Amino acid sequence: MKRLVKKAQKGNDQAFLQLFQHFEQDVYRMAYVYVKNKEDALDIVQEVAYQSFKKIDTLKHPEYIKTWLIRITINCATNLLRKNQKVIHLKPDHEEYIGAEEEDLSLSMTLRDVMDHLEADEKNIVLLRFYHHYTFQEVADLLELPLGTAKTTLYRAIRKLRYELKESEWYE
């Protein structure tokens, strides 16, 4: 992987393409968790590809290529969400689930609603820690936070999630 990064930094387009294709699914999943729809997630993947290609020479540590790409993804997703706050959506959130074969539809909607109660920094840490399985140190490095702050924010987010779930009918 390091060799590919070095080649890409020297301007090898094929090396960059190979690198990006290796991490494309991770980028897509992270984008989708933020924007919650396929089209916007694909737009973010495209934007991440463009920005990372343009700035690959700024990557100081080739071993952190995935972390670097995820960070760009988070930035692109939050920028898109910020831009879309001014847009009024005509389609209800639950409409995308109609006809889905998911058995526990209402539970997944409840979890999505509960995650929406978190602040952006709390949501970032929860997603990185539990959905992408990063260690506390990796989360702290990725979000450029002290380790203690990352832990405190995660525990605060977990308390909020527990409280919100207790308020819903799904808590046992």
Q: For domain 1-90, is the CATH number 1.10.1740.10?
A: yes
pTM as predicted: 0.64
Q: For domain 103-172, is the CATH number 2.40.50.840?
A: no
Closest CA to 81 of 41, 48, 45: 41
* Helix, coil or strand: residue 138: helix
Instruction: Give backbone dihedrals phi and psi of 70, rounded to 5 degrees, phi first.
Output: -65, -40
Res. 172 pLDDT band, cuts 50 70 90:
low
pLDDT computed for residue 116 by the predictor: 77
The residue among 130 and 48 whose pLDDT is bigger is: 48
Q: How far apart are CA 68 and CA 14, in angstroms?
A: 19
What average pLDDT does the chain have?
A: 80
Q: What is the tens place of the pLDDT at every residue in 96-113?
A: 444 444 444 454 555 667
Residue-range domain boundaries for the chain: 1-90, 103-172
Res. 128 pLDDT band, cuts 50 70 90:
confident
Q: What is the tens place of the pLDDT at every residue in 86-95?
A: 554 444 444 4
Equal fold, 1-90 vs 103-172: no
CB contact set of 27 (below 8 Å; sequence gap of 6+): 44, 45, 48, 69, 70, 73
pLDDT score of 50 more than 90: yes
